[in-house]
Amino acid sequence: MSVRKFLLPVSSPASAAGALQTGLMLAKRWNAHLQVLHIRSGQEFAPFVGEGMTGAMIEDMMSATERASGARERSLGELFTLAAEAADVPVGEALRGRDEPSASFTSFSGREDEVIAHRARLADLTIVPHPQAGEDVATADALHAVLFDSGRPVLLAPVAPQETLGKRVAIAWNGTANAASALASVMPFVRQAEAVRILVCDQYRRPGPSGEDVVEYITHHGVTAELVQFYPRKGVTGAGLLAAAEDFGADLMSMGAYSTSSRLRQLILGGITRHVLEHAHLPVLMNR
């Protein structure tokens, strides 16, 4: 298995900068193509349109929205160009498929969640900026669009860029089908890693294969993995998981997302996935 195409949806320069560096670093590592995707939405003004607004007022609002969208697109395009030059990654769609890294910047119009989910279905891995990077709410929407409507893995970029990614891989394992999907997606990184650790916890485990089974499976790929038990921190399993990954010095972690309950329930009551999304500083590869 190899990774040949990355997708990176961006919505604002503040949140895109760190994720761009992560995406370009991965493109160079895998000699892959990074497609940076910006969605132009003409519906940003819709929630503010109500009774009493004249046609002229609505037209003015639409014009202002288009100007703001155009300015944001230009800013993102300039940021992309500068980042690609700094990373020494050639730019252009025609370069894809070659045994060298490449990148491109594309804009589409439409509903952001739909466009991202559809494009992600034909990407080996979709990278999304961290929701806390620039406090951009749209990045969380992009992450959920990939997780719930693409059938493909998503990589949550770190808030701050890292010098390495995938040298020390932590695999959060609880026996679920979601965790197995994440394991399959992270295997290209596992086979190139310097060290791999399987993280298990009694409070996290669900019916399914054990951590020992995962260690045995990985040996078939010529990789030796270490099995380590972690424990909740102050009663919070997600905090214990992140602490265990940090103790290992992991620069990449994989896990199944929203595997113990519905997304709505986790958003309301909290859960391991939500805790990791809010508090992780390292890149996290997720699958459902």
Whether the per-residue pLDDT at 34 is higher than 90: the answer is: yes
Single out the residue of 179, 113, 174 nearest to residue 148, CA to CA.
113
CATH number of 5-156: 3.40.50.620
Q: How far apart are CA 276 and CA 109, in angstroms?
A: 31
Q: What is the pLDDT of residue 161?
A: 83
Q: What is the pLDDT of residue 79?
A: 95
Q: What is the pLDDT of residue 56?
A: 65
Q: What is the pLDDT of residue 242?
A: 97
> What are the structural domain ranges in the chain?
5-156, 168-287
> What is the CATH topology of the domain spanning 168-287?
Rossmann fold (3.40.50)
3-state secondary structure 134-184: HHCHHHHHHHHHHHHHCCCCEEECCCCCCCCCCCEEEEECCCCHHHHHHHH
Q: What is the pLDDT of residue 11?
A: 87
CA 146 vs. chain centroid, Å, equals 9
Q: Which residue has the higher pLDDT, 273 or 51?
A: 273
Single out the residue of 64, 44, 61 nearest to residue 112, CA to CA.
44
**Fold match flag (5-156 vs 168-287):** yes
Give strand ranges (E) for 162-282. Answer: 168-172, 195-200, 226-229, 252-256
Whether the per-residue pLDDT at 45 is higher than 50: the answer is: no
Q: What is the pLDDT of residue 190?
A: 97
Q: Which residue has the higher pLDDT, 260 or 96?
A: 96
Whether the per-residue pLDDT at 269 is higher than 50: the answer is: no
Q: Please tell me the least confidently modeled range out of 99-103, 135-139, 231-235.
A: 135-139
59-109 pLDDT, tens digit each: 655 555 555 567 888 999 999 999 999 999 999 876 777 789 999 999 988
Single out the residue of 19, 288, 247, 6 nearest to residue 147, CA to CA.
288
